[in-house]
């Protein structure tokens, strides 16, 4: 009986060892799971679609090559529906249930900011490639005091009483100190990295175009009352101040309005030189269509990227999209190695053009693969370390995460200007990089007949 | 002055559509005494019918009125006959349960459409979607003007139906006094589901007419249910003429709010008027015009 037990024990020990061996072997062959959050349904579905396609294209290329140190990458794409709450639970699910090693994607500022909160709480690496509100890479905005400082600063602007202003200023200074301390504590958990420039820099390329070519005196800003919209409007207001452009009107609207005509009629009456709009796809199309119905004729219609560069914008707005100018973060004609190749591959495979959102996603995938190659292990801390050491070239431009201002882990890039010319998105600015000549001045009424 | 006139035109044209949305709801409210909180969702279904007709069958949105209205009429009858009326028969259940039922129906409709079409935004682009003509400096949208013509026709048709036909008179009788109508030999159950069918068909027309100038997605219904409800309260519960006034008032209020206050507050302005009417004119416009 005793002997039998010994044999049994020995056998089971051997089996256990064997099992371990097998598990290890499997682990080294099993694909590495990477989570991606994108809006695949809902109002931002078209942005999600172009990014999903680009992510998939990139991951297939990586897997058909060497993969990551011989292992393949498996993408788990979660739908955020364009809603911050769904975005949060998507990140939770990816981290706790699917056990991914890191997270990518992140479309629309509101969703990305909410999702980033979850990732930071867990100290989990999240490479944002589109969500663009400045505060996503500002640790102070994730601390309670930092958020209160923002609120108090708003009050400070409205306050007129001098005594109260002094009190407020004191309070802000104290809170800022506290928030700096809190941010420092947060620092080792702050795991958000961003590939794309923040929204405050979106119009930097457009600024040049306005200053050198259009030379407007007045402008009107229309924006969706979301995080991306309000921050973008504020940033452009600053640009206007810098260029000496008078902002006649700054109006926000609720996404999904049926009728923009009253608003546009008001813009028409204000008669600005430039109409600058920060909108997502459907509102952007409707705004342009209805501006055509009202025969508006400013010097320039300009969009702040997002809804204005997607191929669906031209489809939905039809001839109302013609000659509309937009800020952008990328264009296939840029002399970045691989940019044109990516564009051609995308067109060949999906039979439709791609733009900056796609390039962001495609590059993010390559950055992720590169990070996973260099990481010592797939623990969050090691991946974070590898992310911060990133220094590579992608089709979107060079990627290197730096700190400036309040931001950390932020990639710094140029922005450009594009124009819809004969139904095609052409890059027109900066002049030394652009392959196509801008069309200006534009007679919008004639253009749209 | 141009700005004022342009706002007036936009608001009035939009108000016409709202009126059509409101009439359907107020009709149902008058006869059944319940608020149909699935009203906007029925409209959404009609929009998808139009979308399918246009995209897959190549039927012009205005022609597809001939399809979307009967389909929604049938859906309305089924909803009333098999989902709402059985609740009436159960005595222990409060009448409010019918309202709760409509909320549920609305949710089911939304999710079914999301299941079939996903929540992507779809649009129907016709050659005339953006056609306009100008009177002086004021722009008139051609599709919205055609819509207005349809709305006037449908409303006149409805009045003819309610005043001149047997079923129409029965509907009015049931709305005025249900028990007396039953005593006079009106089949009140049949009247309830015919009324629901007509209400659904009218809001279907509104949905179909809106499609060429707007876009559609499954969650669009809730907004229009809210608007229809506001319109009914503005007009006075159960009054069709009141609903027309209510619709146009809401359209104008939203437009003038967007022009002279802020576009952001468009929805709030509608709700403020709603509260003011509830406070100072609880019976709605019905009380002023006595119809």
pLDDT per residue over A253-268, tens digit each?
Answer: 988 888 899 999 999 9
Residue A13 pLDDT > 60: no
How would DSSP label each residue in A19-86? Answer: HHHHHHHHHHHSPEEEEEEE--SSTTHHHHHHHHHHHHHHHHHHHHTTTBTTBPEEEEEEE-TT-HHH
Residue A391 pLDDT > 50: yes
Give the 3-state secondary structure of residue A103: strand
What's the pTM value of the predicted model, to 2 decimals? 0.83
The answer to whether residues A306 and A214 belong to one domain is yes
Q: What is the mean pLDDT of residues A197-209?
A: 91
The answer to whether residues A176 and A136 belong to one domain is no
pLDDT at A258 (0 to 100): 84
pLDDT at B290 (0 to 100): 64
Q: What is the DSSP letter of A351?
A: S
Best probe of the A interface among B8, B16, B120, B136, by most A CBs < 10 A, is B120
What ipTM does the predicted assembly reach? 0.83
The answer to whether residues A52 and A192 belong to one domain is yes
Which among B7, B121, B141 is the nearest to A262, CB-wise?
A: B7
pLDDT at A406 (0 to 100): 86
The answer to whether residues A225 and A306 belong to one domain is yes
The answer to whether residues A72 and A191 belong to one domain is yes
The answer to whether residues A352 and A246 belong to one domain is no
CA–CA dist B250, B267 (Å, integer): 10
pLDDT at A11 (0 to 100): 56
pLDDT at A175 (0 to 100): 86
pLDDT at A140 (0 to 100): 85
B21-56 pLDDT, tens digit each:
999 999 998 888 888 999 999 999 999 999 999 999
Closest alpha carbon within chain B to A226: B264
pLDDT at A267 (0 to 100): 93
Residue A399 pLDDT > 80: yes
Q: What is the DSSP letter of A333?
A: T
Rank A7-11, A206-210, A257-261, B90-94 by mean pLDDT and report only the highest. A206-210
CA–CA dist A104, A369 (Å, integer): 11
B23, B227 contact by CB (below 8 A): no
Residue A205 pLDDT > 80: yes
Strands A73-79 and A32-38: parallel
CA–CA dist A221, A202 (Å, integer): 15
A68 touches chain B (CB under 8 A): no
Q: What is the mean pLDDT of residues A423-430?
A: 90
The answer to whether residues A377 and A303 belong to one domain is no
- CATH of range B2-289; options 1.10.3470, 1.10.287, 2.60.40, 3.40.50: 1.10.3470
| CB atoms inside a 10 Å sphere around CB A364 | 29
**pLDDT band at residue B5 under the 50/70/90 scheme:** very high
Q: What is the DSSP letter of A214?
A: I
The answer to whether residues A322 and A441 belong to one domain is yes
**pLDDT band at residue A78 under the 50/70/90 scheme:** very high
CA–CA dist A326, A309 (Å, integer): 7
The answer to whether residues A210 and A193 belong to one domain is no
Domain boundaries along the sequence of chain B:
2-289
pLDDT at A9 (0 to 100): 63
**Angle, to 10 degrees, between the axis of helix B96-117 and the axis of helix B39-57?**
20
Q: What is the mean pLDDT of residues A424-440?
A: 89
Residue B156 pLDDT > 50: yes
CA distance A437 to chain B (A): 29
CA–CA dist A22, A263 (Å, integer): 67
pLDDT, mean over chain A: 89
CA–CA dist A135, A149 (Å, integer): 13
The answer to whether residues A308 and A434 belong to one domain is yes
**pLDDT band at residue A147 under the 50/70/90 scheme:** confident
pLDDT at A305 (0 to 100): 86
pLDDT at B30 (0 to 100): 87
A381 belongs to a structural domain? yes
Q: Do A282 and B259 touch (CB under 8 A)?
A: no
Q: Do B7 and A265 touch (CB under 8 A)?
A: yes
Residue A25 pLDDT > 80: no
Count up the domains in chain A and report the number. 3
What is the residue range of A218's domain?
Answer: 200-328+415-447
The answer to whether residues A180 and A190 belong to one domain is no
Q: Do A45 and B121 touch (CB under 8 A)?
A: yes
């Amino acid at each position: 009986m005793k002997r039998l037990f010994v044999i049994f024990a020995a056998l089971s020990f051997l089996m256990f060892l064997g099992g371990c061996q097998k598990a290890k072997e499997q682990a080294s062959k099993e694909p590495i799971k990477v989570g991606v959050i994108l809006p695949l349904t809902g109002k931002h579905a078209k942005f999600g679609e172009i990014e999903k396609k680009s992510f998939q294209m990139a991951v297939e290329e990586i897997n058909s090559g060497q993969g990551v140190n011989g292992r393949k990458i498996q993408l788990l794409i979660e739908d955020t529906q364009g809603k911050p709450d769904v975005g949060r639970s998507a990140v939770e699910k990816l981290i706790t249930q699917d056990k991914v090693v890191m997270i990518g994607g992140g479309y629309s500022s509101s969703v990305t900011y909410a999702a980033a909160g979850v990732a930071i709480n867990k100290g989990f690496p999240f490479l944002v490639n589109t969500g663009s509100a400045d505060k996503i890479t500002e640790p102070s905005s994730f601390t309670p005091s930092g958020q209160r400082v923002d609120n108090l600063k708003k009050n400070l602007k409205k306050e007129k009483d001098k005594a109260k202003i002094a009190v407020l200023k004191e309070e802000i200074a104290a809170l800022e100190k506290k928030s700096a301390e809190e941010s420092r504590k947060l620092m080792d958990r702050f795991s958000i990295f961003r590939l794309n420039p923040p929204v405050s820099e979106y119009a930097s390329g457009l600024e040049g175009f306005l200053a050198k070519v259009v030379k407007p005196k007045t402008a009107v800003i229309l924006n969706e009352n979301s995080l991306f919209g309000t921050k973008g409007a504020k940033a452009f207001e600053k640009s206007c101040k810098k260029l000496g452009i008078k902002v006649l009107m700054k109006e926000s609207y609720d996404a999904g309005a049926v009728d923009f005509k009253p608003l546009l009629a008001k813009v028409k009456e204000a008669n600005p030189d430039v109409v600058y709009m920060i909108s997502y796809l459907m509102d952007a199309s409707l705004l342009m269509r209805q501006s055509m119905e009202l025969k508006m004729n400013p010097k320039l219609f300009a969009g702040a990227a997002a809804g204005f560069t997607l191929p669906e914008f031209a489809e939905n707005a039809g001839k109302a999209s013609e000659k509309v100018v937009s800020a952008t973060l990328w264009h296939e004609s840029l002399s970045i190695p691989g940019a044109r190749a990516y564009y051609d591959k995308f067109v060949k495979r999906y039979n439709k053009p791609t733009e900056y959102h796609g390039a962001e996603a495609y590059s993010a995938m390559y950055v992720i693969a590169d990070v996973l190659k260099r990481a010592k292990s797939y623990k969050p801390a090691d991946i974070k370390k590898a992310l911060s050491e990133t220094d590579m070239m992608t089709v979107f431009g060079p990627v290197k995460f730096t700190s400036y201002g309040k931001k950390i882990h932020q990639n710094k890039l140029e922005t450009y200007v594009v124009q819809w010319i004969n139904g095609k998105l052409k890059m027109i600015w900066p002049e030394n990089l652009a392959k196509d000549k801008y069309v200006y001045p534009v007679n919008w009424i004639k253009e749209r007949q | 002055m141009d700005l004022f006139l342009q706002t007036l035109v936009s608001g009035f044209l939009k108000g016409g559509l709202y009126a059509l949305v409101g009439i359907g709801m107020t009709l149902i409210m008058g006869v059944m005494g319940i608020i149909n909180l699935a009203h906007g969702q029925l409209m959404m279904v009609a929009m998808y019918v139009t979308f399918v007709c246009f995209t897959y069958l190549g039927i012009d949105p205005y022609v597809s009125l001939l399809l979307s209205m009967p389909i929604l009429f049938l859906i309305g009858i089924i909803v009333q006959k098999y989902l709402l009326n059985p609740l009436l028969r159960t005595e222990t259940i409060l009448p409010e349960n019918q309202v709760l039922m409509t909320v549920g129906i609305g949710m089911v409709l939304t999710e079914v459409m999301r299941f079939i079409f996903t929540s992507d935004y779809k649009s129907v682009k016709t050659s005339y979607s953006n056609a306009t003509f100008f009177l002086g400096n004021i722009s008139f949208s051609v599709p919205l003007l055609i819509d207005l013509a349809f709305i006037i026709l449908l409303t006149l048709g409805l009045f003819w139906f309610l005043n001149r036909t047997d079923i129409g008179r029965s509907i009015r009788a049931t709305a005025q006094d249900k028990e007396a109508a039953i005593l006079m030999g009106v089949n009140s159950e049949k009247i309830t589901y015919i009324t629901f069918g007509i209400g659904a068909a009218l809001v279907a027309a509104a949905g179909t007419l809106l499609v060429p100038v707007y876009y559609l997605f499954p969650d669009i219904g809730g907004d229009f249910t809210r608007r229809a409800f506001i319109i009914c309260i503005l007009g006075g519960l159960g009054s069709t003429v009141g609903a027309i006034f209510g619709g146009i008032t809401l359209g104008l209020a939203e437009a003038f709010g967007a022009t002279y206050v802020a576009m952001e507050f468009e929805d709030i302005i509608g709700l403020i008027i709603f509260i003011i009417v509830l406070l100072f004119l609880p019976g709605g416009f019905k009380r002023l015009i006595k119809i």
